[in-house]
Structure 1
């Protein structure tokens, strides 16, 4: 793996998440009945940062939960015969709520589809919107993000690496060449 460039540093990520937070407030005409659900791993801390921004802008605390998509992946058979059943609790009530599903990178859309399935299995939300820090293209399903931090056209021979301080000790988005 060969490092190519840093696409977003800590300050750029902060600005990007502030913009996404404002867009969420604007599109939903406020924050009533809003819930954030981050896709584990990096989607959850990103969702918490968005919730912190909304608290700062609107003075309202938005519930933040997380979804584990392990059981909903379409490649389970290649992962083993007996997948472990993970906790299906999202940590928040999504019934009749406007759910903002949050992830770090939108690539093939299979993760987003699996997360949507997992949420709907728990309860029926009013709506599900998708917020991603990076959209890198190469979609395999007809899913698009409602909120995109940055569109980054990539080749399939590249890796977009999102680092989040809570997990990786730094906030950054870097691109690597896999060749």
Structure 2
């Protein structure tokens, strides 16, 4: 099966810069803004957007991670009693504008799990969604507020997002 590079390192950098500007416009600045990156690659994308916002606004936006594993409805896991927060961030996100950042938006199930994880422990003022890639094929009525690139795909195609921190390079590839 052949690979097609959809975003190389330079294109990914430009895309994340544009998304940072869009998030700032949406929120009218950095007041009450919080970024939560979905583990694993969303976490690194969130840090990249945080860095770009700092360059633009000269302000550090609180950024953390969210692990939605125990909230997935499409994995066969024993149902543990959920007592600990599934997100890690140094600020209380109640009454904040939370932007969930993920690498690929596909069925919408990861986003639903993220919402469940957040709303179990806090009540943000507003929750937005940023996805580097929207590949379609939604199973739930979920739409991203900020999309890096819309890539219509066939169900049998795989969209792979690579980030330097875990993969040694930045790229988006369709296989």
Q: Which residue of 1 aligns with 2:159?
A: 160
Q: For residues 119-138 of structure 1, what are the alpha-carbon distances to aligned partners after superposition, in whole Å with 9 as ceiling and x for unaligned?
A: 11121000000000000000
Q: Secondary structure at the match of 1:161?
A: strand
Alpha carbons 2:85, 2:121 under 8 Å: kept: no
Equivalent residue, structure 1, for 2:41: 42
Matching of residues 80-119 of structure 1 within 5 Å: 80-81=77-78, 88-92=86-90, 93-119=92-118
2:73 maps to 1:74: yes
Where 1:3 maps in the other structure, the secondary structure is coil
The runs of 5 or more residues in structure 1 that have no matched partner are none
Instruction: After superposing the two structures, state which structure 1 stretch, 92-101 or 162-171, moved more.
Output: 92-101
Cα deviations by residue, 1:3-62 (Å, 9 ceiling, x for unpaired): 330000000000000000000111111110000000000000000000000000000100
Of the structure 1 ranges 99-108 and 114-123, higher mean CA displacement relative to structure 2 is found in 114-123
Partner in structure 2 of residue 32 of structure 1: 31
Q: Structure 1 pair 64/139, CA: closer, same or farther in 2 (3 Å)?
A: same
- Unmatched segments (≥5 aa) in structure 2: none
Give distance in 1, aligned partners of 2:57 and 2:114.
27
* Residues 84/165 of structure 1: CA separation in 2 closer, same or farther (3 Å cut): farther
Number of residue pairs matched? Answer: 173
What's the TM-score, normalizing by structure 2? 0.94
Q: Separation in 2 of the partners of 1:98 and 1:20?
A: 16
CA distance in 2, matches of 1:104, 1:88: 18
Asked if 1 retains the 8 angstrom alpha-carbon contact of 2:37 and 2:44, the reply is yes
CA distance in 2, matches of 1:4, 1:48: 27
The whole-number CA distance in structure 1 between the counterparts of 2:151 and 2:69 is: 26
Alignment partner of 1:134 is 2:165: no
The RMSD of aligned alpha carbons is 1.5
- Whole-Å separation in 2 of the counterparts to 1:87 and 1:143: 23
